[in-house]
Chain A
């Protein structure tokens, strides 16, 4: 009898607090995974960057020496600053994907027969893995048979060994990266253009707005959400560039196409030895660069949230 009385009482306690407890129960599994695999490792890397560790033996506390080594380039000559400079070039040039994507989106924003298929095919490069994009462009640049040199040959120029020349290699890889990224920005703008208010366009047309002025004053302001997402994904993509460099040049020739992401991997996990602490220090630098942008993105989102 006492048992029968207890049960409804327990249920009602849970029932009373259900709305307070429920979010935490729903969050628990996802939050646990995310903390263990993403949030905690970030702090572990910060900690690790103060140690010297080969991944096997005991770690030795060295304070900020890894950072000093980076700053003065005591360990690897011409590695850190070359990577940093290349990261900067990536950041700036990768943003070209945004106007290029807008341009193609404007070109394709018509309703002629078969246009849907055209749009899909233009988007194609984004769906392919960067590994394959890297291979495709390695052959495209090949000095003996690459399409690029076949093309240059028509004008009596070349041959040009893009990936073997320190002056061109980073630009060559970025150009390959722009191919899928432009496709991504294009699709963002195509969806954005669909949502542009036709009445505003008509009104502006009656006022005599056309072409570039129309684009700048009427269309672009309405495309702001698309531009924001394009900006976010392009910045993140630029700083994450790893696959293409790894496939196309492995950082070469003579380390001239390294970026921080690749340099870190090379230091910590390749034949150059397992310098985990030093690698973590590079990762921290990259993380801090990224953090500026992450903070900006979150701040924009926060304003948006408050606006609603």
Chain B
């Protein structure tokens, strides 16, 4: 193990390390903790310039209550879920199939199709912006959640195909050959042999795509407007315009908006990290 395990070092070194950890963490998360502190302060603290002292009264319940019951925030949150969940399902479904096709079969254009997915996944959003917006307008899906979902599924298929294909490549190929010898059809091999083995990959991708899509801001701004279809990342700017200078409410709103992917991460940590490292470092 590198660096040398701290247990093998001197007692003072151990104590220093143990003391340093929480200090480092506090510094690292400082800006975020500040927002958390803001979100439980009363409005009076900001008019009295009591920014960093203890809250003169604890108004967490009131502030978060305002966010949930007196703004469009619940609407935006619901939109985010209604955009994120279908995207996750769609992108994972499409990419298990493309990943299977590119991971199992040998045909001439295989590697080029694979590279096309990988390259497409890296292009800057701006080069897609105008044509995708036009297409969405023509389909009558501008400012709808469906329009956003369709684009997200398509774009995420690039990354998901890369991931799934590499995962399938690592599976024991003998299993598939054995099934073929038995005369099982290709579709059944996919459904009964490969798909059950892909569960860890599907879990990892789902968590990751959930976070990516939830946090998307650019496409939300390009393809939607207004509370009936905007997700929370775009909605929070209107929320902030509504509560300009009410820092306690803007802070509470930010925390609420950030929470779902954070919860997802803490619940599914193992899958999340497996997904992020692309399975390349195990």
Contact = CB atoms under 8 A, between A and B. Distances in A.
Given A34-B157, A265-B126, A242 B218 contact: yes
B119 A294 contact: yes
Given A33-B153, A110-B17, A201-B1, A290 B276 contact: no
A166 interface: no
Contacts of A129: 214-215, 217, 233, 257-258, 261
Interface in A207-265: 214-215, 218-219, 225-226, 228-229, 236, 239-240, 242-243, 246-247, 260-261, 264-265
B153 to A, nearest CB: 6
B175 interface: no
Secondary structure call for the B interface: helix
A226 B280 CA distance: 8
A78 to B, nearest CB: 20
B127 to A, nearest CB: 4
Contacts, number: 279
Contact of B125 (A135, A191, A240): A240
A214 B95 CA distance: 41
Secondary structure call for the A interface: helix
Contacts of A163: none
Contacts of B161: 30
A121 interface: yes
Interface residues of A, number: 101
Contact of B158 (A36, A38, A40): A38
Interface in B100-144: 100-102, 104-105, 107, 110-111, 113, 115-120, 122-133, 135
Interface in B70-124: 94-95, 97-98, 100-102, 104-105, 107, 110-111, 113, 115-120, 122-124
A136 interface: yes
A188 B276 CA distance: 8
B30 A268 contact: no
B261 A196 contact: no
A136 B7 contact: no
A225 B113 CA distance: 23
Contact of B130 (A45, A140, A193, A225): A45
Interface stretch (A1-9, A17-25, A64-72, A91-99): A17-25
Contacts of B125: 240, 242, 261
A18 B190 CA distance: 13
Interface string B17-35: 1100100110011111011
Interface residues of B, number: 95
A146 B151 CA distance: 38
B273 interface: yes
A-B pairs, top 10 by smallest CB distance, nearest first, are A37-B154, A41-B131, A129-B215, A26-B101, A30-B98, A23-B105, A30-B94, A22-B186, A33-B154, A44-B131
Given A136-B32, A269-B133, 17 more contacts: A18-B185, A19-B186, A22-B105, A27-B97, A37-B155, A40-B131, A44-B130, A106-B3, A118-B25, A120-B269, A121-B29, A128-B32, A131-B236, A145-B51, A147-B34, A287-B126, A294-B123
Interface of B: 1-3, 5-7, 17-18, 21, 24-25, 28-32, 34-35, 38, 49, 51-52, 94-95, 97-98, 100-102, 104-105, 107, 110-111, 113, 115-120, 122-133, 135, 150-151, 153-155, 157-158, 161, 185-187, 190, 211, 214-215, 217-218, 221-222, 233, 236-237, 240, 247, 250, 254, 257-258, 261-262, 264-266, 269, 273, 276-278, 280-282
Interface of A: 15, 18-20, 22-24, 26-27, 29-31, 33-34, 36-42, 44-45, 48, 55, 106-107, 109-112, 115, 118, 120-125, 127-132, 135-137, 139-140, 145, 147, 150, 179, 184, 187-188, 191-193, 195-196, 198, 201, 214-215, 218-219, 225-226, 228-229, 236, 239-240, 242-243, 246-247, 260-261, 264-265, 268-269, 276, 279-280, 282-284, 286-287, 290, 293-294, 297-298, 301-302, 305
